[in-house]
Structure 1
Amino acid sequence: MGSKKVNNEHEVTVRFRMIRNCMFLSGLSVFAQLYLFQPMLSDLCRSFSITPAESSLAVSASTVGMAVGLLFLAFKADGISREKLMGASLILSSVLTIASAFIDSYSFLLVFNLLKGIVLAGVSAVALAYLSEEVDTSKIGLAISLYLSGNTLGGMSGRVAATLVSGYGGWQLATLVIGIVSLALGAIFCWKIPAGRNFSASMVSIGEKMRQMRSLLTQTTFISMYVIAALSMGIFVSVYNYLSFLLESPAFGLPYHLVAMIFMMYVAGIIGSVVAGVLSDRFGPEVLLQGALLLMGVGMSLLLVMKLWAIVLGLGILTFAFFSTHTLASRIVSMHAQHLKSSATSIYWLFYYAGSSLIGSLTGIVLVNSGWFSLMEVLLALLFCALIVSSLFIFKYRLYEKSKVYSHRRYGNNDVRSRN
């Protein structure tokens, strides 16, 4: 009996380790591919003779595809094996990335990026669901944090690698290298990922799913968080989209290998997520969210100072504050969604990537026509809108809490009797 128990515990430990490592690899692959072209926008401008605003569509096409894929999978994902969907997504997306390295038409490149985003949604749509189903509750926090770390590290390492390799051999070589590495990661994932033991396919009718989503979009809490997600993500992506143009301009004249280092600031994002998560266990996430948005404003203000130290510091603060904002907003959505978590999360990601796509591209027009300072003024105005939404949400939330306390004091006993 003792040896059998030891063997079972060993099997559980090994299985957990395999799940943890595979999900970490999936995060690396997804976000390395999703934002592959962000650090190479200036290369695309030179290669295809396009403007910075047009070049940003290479990033937006992928994130639009991700939003479309997530919306579709909100209706279908619960009827498909989790690990098979994720494995197929990782392999097919890698093939699309490799193929895009040989494209000489910008229009076709955008089409491939759109398709790649749709395919990558297969991982993001079910990753957290797979972890919650297959990992023991005592270890799920560790597993999720490692998966999210893989997302952030994938985004960071992909951007840094793309900048360095493209500086040496052009954007095609960088795309090919990241596609091959992602294919290898996908192959390891498919080989090692344990089959789900607790998944049972279930399908919610489209009509029911639509009713769930409609009910969420009529509630102030969710609308507020969705708008904040769209605005904050759009601001964040816009800064990272176009900052390399500023740093490579005569004002700074930095070489490509130093420009690549700006993406190391994602480490500040990892810290921001952890700090926000810890503090939100002790304090109200609603107030912390407003503080994170204000901190984003501090970072953005420093980006107006044309000194390298100020830009580096401002970017670090902005990155820390954005990931804190994202962590807090997604937590608020999860806290209030109750039995509609799947639908609420799907809509959150839809707004998140829609903000990335629309704002990230449209602000490029401001940069081309009016320059860096006008771009930052527009982004600060969008941040001010997010702060207003946050303030209105906190005001209404506090009124709701006070009304609950009042109702409980006045009618609590009657309510208990009526329920009995």
Structure 2
Amino acid sequence: MHLFRLALASLANRRFTALLTMFAIALSVTLLLAVERVRTEARASFASTISGTDLIVGARSGSINLLLYSVFRIGNATNNIRWDSFETVAADPKVKWAIPISLGDSHRGYRVMGTSQAYFEHYRYGRSQALQLRDGRAFADDPFEVVLGAEVADALHYRLGDRIVLAHGVATVSLVQHADKPFTVVGVLARTGTPVDRTLHISLAGMEALHVDWQNGVPARGAGKVSAEQARHMDLTPKAITAFLLGLNSKVATFAVQREINEFRGEPLLAILPGVALQELWSLMGTAEKALLMVSMFVVLTGLIGMLTAILTSLNERRREMAILRSVGARPWHIAGLLIVEAFALAAAGVVVGVMLLYIGIAAAQGFVQSTYGLYLPLSLPSAYEWQMLGGILIAALLMGCIPAWRAYRQSLADGLTIRV
């Protein structure tokens, strides 16, 4: 206890240097914990993008490519699936529900997805959470109705009743607009933190109506043009879709249904397990994830080395102080212990301030990060792994404190009560 009070008094006497050292450690601790928190939450958010879906089916390509365009709205399908193929698979007695997905259009950089009412009934994310409407309702009989994801509505400031024009293709800036067939916003989904937030949802009939007068990827001109009112009275059953999601009556049948779809004779199809594909995709990003964590650890190490340098630099200046302590009865191991306690106190203060800065930063940036990147950072207590990292920092500080402590011990033995400077 006496050593601790003496260490605090010594640090107070060198408060400017001590504060700078403590602040450097605090910033490095904040960075390390922030990277770990973002990494953990990003992985949890990534894994919870889709839940409760047993199989994702698309045209035969790669499992990651199918996952990217069907779930994350990234990239494009190599081919479409015939509607009759979807109906055949959906009619299988082992299939409980099926959600068709049709992609290909966009609106101001956001993807448009054609689907059915089954999407709002059966799609799950997170821990089997259902989609909820923040405002309005789901699309109904009118093909020209759209339900917006939360990010689309907030970023583009759309409200119920607004009319929007979709664009052909997925480019941010498109030269081909479906201006003759505007859609009316009838609903806005609650925020999910998934790609659903960045998607405009229309019915399959609406997707078909957009392209009913298109041929070979080019809109018709003159007499071949079909108005929105004319399209409403046409047969808008889709001829093809991009992919579909399946929920099965029994999890035991998953692999059997997957094999049947992969061997489907009507056309080449690929069925993947979402969890396996998500894990495979995340493993591809594992190197970058570990590299970022290693950089953060090196930043903490740099902060601790800065503390070591500050203590070592002050040793020669403090030899008179140590000689005075020896004169009042302090032994060499007291001097060594004093420096170890100082190193530990600096590191402990840095850890405490670093954790405080982390929570202040999360509280300040939580809304921005969630609205901009769809990543929710909770104000929760440190996890077991984070406690281990903080404990490791304190242990490293103690070990580093042994270096100046050993030098001070040797100097106090050599100097005795006479200071050689």
TM over 0.5: no
TM-score, structure 2 as length reference: 0.21
Whichever of the two has the greater Rg, that structure is 2
Higher helix share: 1
More strand by share: 2
Under a length normalisation based on structure 1, what TM-score does the superposition of the two structures give? 0.21
